[in-house]
Amino acid sequence: MTSHALSPTFVPAHARPMVSALMTATAVALTLAILMLLAPGVVDARHLIAFIEEDGPLEVATVAIWMLAAVYLLLPGNRPRLPALSFAFFCFTLGMRENGLPPGLVPHGRRLMQLGFYLQGPESLAYRVVAAVVVLAVLAAAVHVVITVGREFFQRRGWVEADTGMFILGMVVLVASQVAEGIQDHPVWAAALFPPGWNGMLSLESLEEGWEAVGAFYVLVAVHLSRQLGHAKRRRFG
């Protein structure tokens, strides 16, 4: 990228705070990625595994961040600029997914995307009905979120508000975390990415869990910015 691409004449005045915030947040995410990848070489493996494992401190913090974002969107007071209900349900769903509640309590998993599960699954009819309602609600919220973000992105030709920009960055980080998780399913790929003798699988797991936490935090920041922008907009036009 050339210096011209970042010059004040290229970036509209209203978009400069957003661009600056996103560049800083991106640098933080990349720095954390390096630290998490190198962690197995400087931190005792037992301590690192205890920190990133299921129900460990990092995952608990990630779930707490998602739930906080969902609640923050629905708190009385400054109404967020982004649609509160859809985004809150979206955050709540991702928090529930991260929490990994028992399937007997909350239906989840790839089987929910299979039509046969609903038509002739071994579970009770009531369970399958609940699962269908959950899936439809999640899909409706996700579609609304995508439409809202996409419409603003195209209407503004990419120069979105700071809250939308931070939300998009959070989603990008979360997608990257899933890529790290996918590589773990291919040990040959993982071995090719790291020097001999290095615990590459632990590095990738650290990166996955770390980026999941960062992605959730960036969405929480987006929620905070959305409430601030919504308040400022009402003061300007109210």
Query: Which residue, 38, 76, 80, 2, is CA-closest to 199?
Result: 38
What is the average pLDDT across 178-207?
A: 90
Work out the percent of the chain whose per-residue pLDDT is above 90. 38
User: DSSP code of 4?
Assistant: G
The model's pTM is 0.82
All structural domains of the chain with their residue ranges: 17-43+50-232
Contacts of 54 (CB under 8 A, 6+ apart): 100
Question: Phi and psi (nearest 5°) for 197?
Answer: 90, -10
Residues 12-56: tens digit of each pLDDT: 776 777 788 888 899 999 999 999 999 998 999 999 999 998 888
Write b or e for each residue in 199-216: b if 16 or more Cβ atoms lie within 10 A of its Cβ, otherwise e. bbebbbbbbbbbbbbbbb
pLDDT of residue 4: 45
Q: Is 50 exceeded by the pLDDT of residue 237?
A: no
**Predicted pLDDT of residue 112:** 62
Taking Cα atoms as reference points, which of 65, 15, 13 lies closest to residue 165?
Answer: 15
pLDDT-derived band at 103 (thresholds 50, 70, 90) equals low
Q: Who wins on pLDDT, 13 or 235?
A: 13
Amino acid 233: pLDDT: 56
Tens digits of per-residue pLDDT, 66-97?
999 999 999 887 788 888 999 999 898 888 87
Burial class for 56, CB neighbours closer than 10 Å (0-12, 13-18, 19+): middle
Higher pLDDT, 97 or 107: 97
State residue 204 phi and psi, 5-degree precision: -65, -40
Report, as an integer, the average pLDDT of 184-206.
89
Q: What is the pLDDT of residue 3?
A: 43
**Res. 152 pLDDT band, cuts 50 70 90:** confident
